[in-house]
Structures are given as C-alpha cells and as structure tokens.
Structure 1
Amino acid sequence: MRKPLLSFVFLGTALVACGAEPDKVSESAGTERQKDNVEPGQEGEITETVSAATGQEIAFDVPADSRAEYQLLSVVKNDEGLLVATTRRTGSSGSSYSVREIDCARQLFRYIGDGDTLDQAMTPLQNPGTMATLVAGSSSHAAVQIACSQLPG
C-alpha cells in the first residue's frame, strides 16, 4: 500500500500564494478531489532532493496555455523512487499549485496535491487515482519533461 506524501523540501524558499484558476488543459479533473488527513508517522519519506533545492524556480512553457507562466518549484525523489514535482501556474486570475508524482521511465504521472495556495497543494489527496499517460502540449506533459530533465547524470 502506498503511503501518502506529506513532506516536501523547500530549502531557502519563501513562497507567496494568491487566488487562482486551475489549469484548463490538464488540471480541471482535480477540482472535485477531496483532501486526506494523514496521521503523524504515516507520511511518505523523501529520500533525495534532485532539483530546485536552492530555492530557485525553473520557468517552463506550456504551448496549450501560452498566456500563463509556469514554474517548477521543487523536485524530490520519494521512498518509492518516483519523482514528486511541485509547480505553480500564474495566469490572469492569480496562481495555482500542483503536486505530481512522476514515473520518468514510463512517462506517467498522477496528481497527489493541488490548490489555490501552496499549503493546499501540499495536503495529500485522499484519492489520487492511478498513473496516467501524458497528453502532448498539456501542462502535465511540460511539467513531467522539465522535472525528469532535472535527474542527476
């Protein structure tokens, strides 16, 4: 059984969250998901930080949503060897955040957190579902490509 991931690594980073609209391309399915309350000691362990640990955000483009700005905030490897990437989308109505679990080798992902604030996105989803294939041009496709490119050597 998979443990929900509760902890994220943000070293030297102070992030400010504001209201937002979800990414219309690939995040609209997450708007009805419920959050999970995780008991202490049940959170997944992050075993290695692979990117963005210096607090530097990495900007990336999403062809299907060219009027918004996207940043990769954090990429870590969880205890199952999968990447966990936190991203921010900033558009005309504000910012929103997504946390994706990523299998780089198989090019699959799933949302494990999302919200209008970073705190909301860091709350594990009760029912994250199964890994999904990527849709070319979507925000998830772009986020997975940039996160996987941060893997060491």
Structure 2
Amino acid sequence: MVTVTMTVNGRQVSKEVEDRRLLVDFLREDLGLTGTHVGCDTSQCGACVVHLDGKAVKSCTVLAAQADGGSVKTIEGLANGADLHPLQAAFKEHHGLQCGFCTPGMIMSGVDLIERHPDGLDEKTVRVELEGNICRCTGYHNIVKAILAAAEEMRGGMRQAAE
C-alpha cells in the first residue's frame, strides 16, 4: 500500500491505495468521479482520457502512484459551475455525441488538442490527433465540427484577453 496525494479538479485528495491501482480506478472508485470511463482496458479507446499536469493521458495506463504530487483534471472539473466549457457547449450545439460513452475522453482530448494548437486547427489535424479515441456511434464528423468551433471560439476569447 502507498499513500497518494494529488490535486483533482482543484481539490487536494490523499488516500492509501495498492501500488498497482490504476489512476482511472482511483478516480472512479475511490473518488466517485465516474465521468472518466473505462472502455477497453487496453489503452486503445480513449474513453479514460484525463489531464495530468496539464497534458492529456489515458488514465488506464497510469498508476495512481505515478500521479502522486500531481494535478489531475477530469471531465467533472472542466465546466465552471453551471457554465459549460466551450468544448462541452460545442459538443451540445454540433451534436458531437450520441450514446455519450466516449464523450468525456473526446472532450478532454479535444481540450488538450486546442490548447496545443493556439494558432488554430484544421480538420485534418483534428482527425489525425483523435486517432487514439474511438467513437462507435457518430462517425466523428460532428465531433470534429465541435472541436473546430470551440477552437475558434476559444481563440477569439484569447485574442480579446490579450488586447
């Protein structure tokens, strides 16, 4: 057993866990943050993507102990209270989800993608970078539209903040 301490969605948490405890299980079972989904147990679907120290990671491939001392953001920590994050709003507006199972991982990957490309995105880049996320319902078209729309909105907000 090992004690892990980390900041999750802005709140410091500390728990004793088994050395082999996966971050996804720690978040879901120990902290009750069930928005992070377990889809494949092989790190191929992307349903479990969270941000660890500001970078998108598949939480089924990270031990909770590896996140010790770090900062984790899950889908539950993305919105600002009742105000959806721009990408969450764009998924709603552009019908970027159907069953919703992949949506948390897609959104967390999308936010990371937008943040890594502050000068803008194109459809090809979005499609290439989403290859690690699987959606069995939508065919990706509306997911890509949502990410591009949110990227443009977020860039506009960044430009205004800089002025």
Please tell me the TM-score bracket, short chain as reference. 0.3 to 0.5
TM-score by length of 1: 0.33
What TM-score, normalized to structure 2? 0.32
Give the structure with higher Rg (CA).
2
Higher relative contact order (CA 8 A, sep 6+): 1
More strand by share: 1
Tell me which protein shows more helix as a share of its residues: 2
